[in-house]
Amino acid sequence: MATPHALTHARGQLHTDRLAGSARGRRFGPLRTSLLVGATAALTLTVLPGTATAVPGDATTADQAAARVADAEHRLEVVAEQLNEARVLLAGHQDAARAAEEAADEAQRRLDALDGQIRQLARSAYTGSATSHFDVLLTSNSAQDLVSQMGTLDAIAGYTNEVLAEVSVVAEGAEQSRESADRAAAEAQEQVDEIADQQKELEGQIAEFQRQYDALSAPQQAVVAQAHGGGEALPAPSGVVASSAAAQKAVDTALAQVGDPYVWGAGGPNAFDCSGLTSYAYAAAGVSLPHSSKSQAGMGQAVPANALQPGDLLFFYSPTSHVAMYIGNGQMVHASTSSQPVKVASFNAMKGDFTHARRIAG
């Protein structure tokens, strides 16, 4: 049967775990607060080289000025999509931290449930109500009584040992869960701090780009739109037919956003960046896509360019930093660039930068 020493150790473990649980709650407080005010990344965002000096006035010709702005705009899109990917990674870290905390809480609940059993065993051990094998031998009236009572004592002892073993395992599991939660929280905090600085830098770069773009003449701005905006805007088609209900809903939703402004990091309902538009469109169809062209580029099934169907996602540049939705007849709808609203354009206008396509539904 359980010894007073073993029972005392088990009860002490319960007390230690409760104190650890309180400390864990305090440790998670700052993380929850920080996650509300910042985003994070497990990767380093690209710093735009030369953006501050790529001023239209420095160029010798209007074409050079427009080319510089178009180049800056593309590099900013790369950074913005990296920021989107960073936010996707942050969500994963948040989920991991929450899961670890929930696991620790569940372990603590199991310990609390066992607490009553341990206390009862302790009372039996200390009050002398338990009977020893020797006592049974002296008081049994028959061999049958002796065998029966000895079996009962062995069963009680076995149960006691099982409970104590379970307490030990649960206590160890709770501690491991807390350690995992602490590690996840520390990593998330470091990444929050890193992205906060990088986000400020990105905002400064966006402001610089806008200043450059505003300094261009209307014809120069048209050159920028042609260079990076996927060509001229085309009328939104009607009667696009997709191969599945989900793809149809996504196409219809994307086309309904034509004319909405491009905003870095926006995912609707009234403004979008490239991956924000595609994730918003598929969300309407009940399909969850991360708000990141890089993450979207690995979802669904690969499809060759000569077999595209409405609703397929088109990815551009290497590494991936732009996504559009194919709508049939060699056309696509996308949030193309900060200087252009959501629009329909020719796929051929950007085919030189096309890398691959993915079928999300169909």
Of 207-221, 244-258, 326-340, which has the strongest mean pLDDT?
244-258
Q: What is the pLDDT of residue 95?
A: 83
Task: Read off the pLDDT band of 327 (50, 70, 90).
Answer: very high
Average pLDDT of the chain, as a whole number: 73
Residue bearing the bigger pLDDT, 231 or 275: 275
Contact 90, 41 (CB under 8 A): yes
Please confirm, yes or no, whether 322 is among the known catalytic residues.
Answer: yes
| C-alpha–C-alpha distance, residues 60 and 209, integer Å | 19
Catalytic-role residue among 74, 228, 274, 291: 274
At residue 241, φ and ψ (nearest 5 deg) are -115, 120
Catalytic-role residue among 74, 93, 228, 334: 334
Alpha helices (H) along the chain: 4-37, 62-127, 133-139, 143-214, 218-228, 245-256, 274-284, 293-296
Residue whose pair of structure tokens reads 């169809």 in the numeric block: 285
Task: Read off the pLDDT band of 354 (50, 70, 90).
Answer: very high
Task: Read off the pLDDT band of 126 (50, 70, 90).
Answer: very low
Q: How far is CA 62 from the centre of its chain?
A: 43
Instruction: Give the strand order in the sheet containing 313-316.
Output: 301-303, 354-359, 313-316, 322-328, 331-334, 343-346
Q: What is the pLDDT of residue 132?
A: 52
Torsion of CA 236, 240, 242, 245, to 10 degrees: 90
Q: Which of 314, 302, 311 is nearest to 348 (CA)?
A: 314
Please confirm, yes or no, whether 334 is among the known catalytic residues.
Answer: yes
Q: What is the pLDDT of residues 176-191, one digit of tens each?
A: 877 887 787 778 677 7
Helix (H) / strand (E) element for 355: namely strand 354-359
Q: What is the pLDDT of residue 222?
A: 76
Q: How far is CA 213 from the centre of its chain?
A: 34
Catalytic-role residue among 74, 93, 291, 322: 322
Residue bearing the bigger pLDDT, 244 or 230: 244
Structure token pair of residue 316: 């551009």
Q: Is the pLDDT of residue 321 over 90?
A: yes
Q: What is the pLDDT of residues 233-283, one digit of tens each?
A: 899 998 999 999 999 999 999 999 999 999 988 999 999 999 999 999 999
Residue whose pair of structure tokens reads 């896509």 in the numeric block: 289
